[in-house]
Structure 1
């Protein structure tokens, strides 16, 4: 028996742009006339690629175009891409919420979807009643639902409100309950869109752990859409990358995520300067630039231009973050007890790091200036830089890419 639980073949979805009104009857009649004569849909030929940034020349656009992939039972598939790439459209077709224009989806077993906050919930019913409603939709008996209802309520953390109408729930509570229902009623395929981002950090951690249990322990299949690349990497073993309605990459999650993050990797900068003077700040960063090429294992120089309206001792920081916005490395004047006393007016500060301990790759830089717990000015991910190969051997770095910071140490062997 084949272990393929979901198969998508030549899947396409076409939408009409603009306000649906005058002319649709004409188009429908034309489509019908072509159909009864055995001819191809006339509007399939004129539909354009789904590039939301470009002005349309046609009234029709392909939200998805010739999508083909298979998913094995127990596999966790990540679906990633920029806004407008076609991710939500794909999930709605897989969930049978909307139908494709061409192509087909073949699946085995039950499918549960968590696409939008409150999807599948009746606002006037209580949380408990909605659990039974969703279970019935999934084809479960009342007895089967009752055997799991205590676990669902406990996991959701909404026990106090479980007999309150869902319309009085916050968006976070609604997502908690909806995810608990979808996960514990044990569908064969669980489809989850970005809605988990509505939950707090504690719930997101619980949800990811539960999805791992579902796939690894229960052998169930999960399709997971998220813009959180760290979550995709930790949960998924495989991913597909969508762009303008097309699959441009299908493979291991590491390679696909790297491909996605490198789509804008040509956008680098080595200098930042504020264009408007912030009148509400006593101290602010006017300019920052990198004054030398950044190479791993070599010296890295940078330059601050700070405007101060007071005489003040401050600390400054330059932080390197991954493309997933995870802090990797920080240069902080407080670590070395540097005495940086600003005078009124423009202050110029230069800094240098010997043997930068980062492997080669792309990083985002954030800037901070403050005094103790007080922040005077802060910029998150203000620059994107590329660290080049330098003082460390490339072949050794490639083996340890999971460790972005490399320490350069002295080694001594004691003779016996």
Structure 2
């Protein structure tokens, strides 16, 4: 198969805060370099795009030196945490924005579905938007008309097809947008996580359509999703992005395993410099498993969360979710000041949540953690997909706990709180 898309040394830099370099002199220097053919002097600086860190730089690299190829008929999965650069990459591939350095070479038309309502005009009806999108893709009116009935039927929006799109729900907009993008015969179809807005029935139909496009019609699909089951079921090849860099490229099963096991650490320290910024934040998280990253079924599990309070919080609340390997929350635990006193004044507090006899099916798990004020509804800090660990079943598992059955929780949770006076946290 021939290469239909090639990304060579793609990088994208953004300025934090104000647009421009900040001074007239630096702006003139950048302009002079551009007209004389010299490299932009400000491309030599810039922090790594890591949402869990602090930078003193004025620039950040959303993507840095990305190289890959996609062959005709391949379905490429793009995997990574929030903020890894997935959507930025798709915008560059779709020509929504241009790369700071590097080049993209493609053959044929590209249809994109990057967010709800991409390319739609709210005042136009669904039918009119179909013709407008087709024209943008370079199709004739006759070509669009021949596909019109099929597009409308696939979207399930027959009743509202002559209603302005601004009155559509987000789910209806996604349905119609995907139907248009998939049926107007692009050589490359680019789909972001937007399909998650649709219901389960439509997601299944959309994934089936993408499979038909790649296997039956030889078209290429680029697919971003946090649903690892969808990635495994659809994609023939995947890449993993981390902090704007490509860290893995290969078979999808290997890519998913790499992503789920990347930074598989049971404890994380965050934002050690935030004390100087006078904020409330999460200092660290630790999962105490029974066997160093592996936790036995029906054993006690404790999770330690250290928070920093800059001042007294009226109704502090700390919670965590345990996510399965598809990043779906299956357990949610919460502690409030009304249950155990904390956040009474400035300082560090250690909150320990102990789940007695944890009963979860074998597999990979991780945490989402939140720190907020329940009174003002203000969220101070939140961290996603951290502290990965694995549950394994042993002879403690009852016979009726069959592998692959529905997830199940029958747990007793207790919280313990203490204020930290250790100088290491000061």
User: What TM-score do the two structures reach when normalised by structure 2?
Assistant: 0.67
Determine the structure 2 residue equivalent to 1:108.
107
8 Å CA contact 1:290–1:302 kept in 2: the answer is no
The DSSP-based 3-state class of the residue aligned with 2:250 is: strand
Q: 1:213 to 1:25 in 2, by over 3 A?
A: farther
8 Å CA contact 2:265–2:388 kept in 1: the answer is no
| Residue 385 of structure 2 is aligned to residue 386 of structure 1 | no
| Residue 3 of structure 2 is aligned to residue 4 of structure 1 | yes
Instruction: Map 1:4-23; keep pairs closer than 5 Å.
Output: 4-20=3-19, 23=22
Determine the structure 2 residue equivalent to 1:29.
28
The DSSP-based 3-state class of the residue aligned with 2:6 is: strand
Number of residue pairs the alignment of both structures matches? 322
The DSSP-based 3-state class of the residue aligned with 1:70 is: strand
Q: Distance in 1 between matches of 2:102 and 2:293?
A: 49
Q: Distance in 2 between matches of 1:86 and 1:43?
A: 21
Q: Distance in 2 between matches of 1:169 and 1:352?
A: 44
Q: 1:24 to 1:212 in 2, by over 3 A?
A: farther
Instruction: Map 1:10-409; keep pairs closer than 5 Å.
Output: 10-20=9-19, 23=22, 25-267=24-266, 300-302=298-300, 322-324=324-326, 358=362, 362-363=364-365, 385-387=389-391
How far has the Cα of 1:132 moved from its partner? 0.3
8 Å CA contact 1:268–1:386 kept in 2: the answer is no
Unpaired stretches in structure 1, ≥5 consecutive residues: 270-288, 305-319, 329-348, 366-380, 392-402, 406-416
1:342-380: CA deviation from partner (whole Å, max 9, x where unpaired): xxxxxxx98699xx995xx63469xxxxxxxxxxxxxxx
Determine the structure 1 residue equivalent to 2:281.
none
1:165-191: CA deviation from partner (whole Å, max 9, x where unpaired): 111111110110000000011100000
Q: 1:167 to 1:216 in 2, by over 3 A?
A: same
Q: 1:382 to 1:29 in 2, by over 3 A?
A: closer
Q: Distance in 2 between matches of 1:206 and 1:249?
A: 29
Q: 1:268 to 1:40 in 2, by over 3 A?
A: closer
Q: Distance in 2 between matches of 1:115 and 1:24?
A: 34
1:241-267: CA deviation from partner (whole Å, max 9, x where unpaired): 111111000111111111111124212
How far has the Cα of 1:326 moved from its partner? 7.2
Name which one, 1 or 2, has greater alpha-carbon Rg.
1
8 Å CA contact 1:321–1:364 kept in 2: the answer is yes
8 Å CA contact 2:6–2:68 kept in 1: the answer is yes
Q: Distance in 2 between matches of 1:75 and 1:172?
A: 27
8 Å CA contact 1:295–1:389 kept in 2: the answer is no
Q: Distance in 1 between matches of 2:33 and 2:20?
A: 21
How far has the Cα of 1:236 moved from its partner? 0.6
How far has the Cα of 1:55 moved from its partner? 1.7
Unpaired stretches in structure 2, ≥5 consecutive residues: 269-286, 303-321, 331-354, 368-384, 396-402, 406-426
Q: Distance in 2 between matches of 1:123 and 1:299?
A: 52
The DSSP-based 3-state class of the residue aligned with 1:98 is: coil
The DSSP-based 3-state class of the residue aligned with 2:78 is: strand
How far has the Cα of 1:386 moved from its partner? 3.0
1:89-113: CA deviation from partner (whole Å, max 9, x where unpaired): 1111111111111110000000000
8 Å CA contact 1:292–1:300 kept in 2: the answer is no
Determine the structure 2 residue equivalent to 1:370.
none
8 Å CA contact 1:79–1:239 kept in 2: the answer is yes
User: What TM-score do the two structures reach when normalised by structure 1?
Assistant: 0.69
The DSSP-based 3-state class of the residue aligned with 1:148 is: helix
Q: 1:323 to 1:29 in 2, by over 3 A?
A: same
How far has the Cα of 1:224 moved from its partner? 0.4
Q: 1:327 to 1:43 in 2, by over 3 A?
A: closer
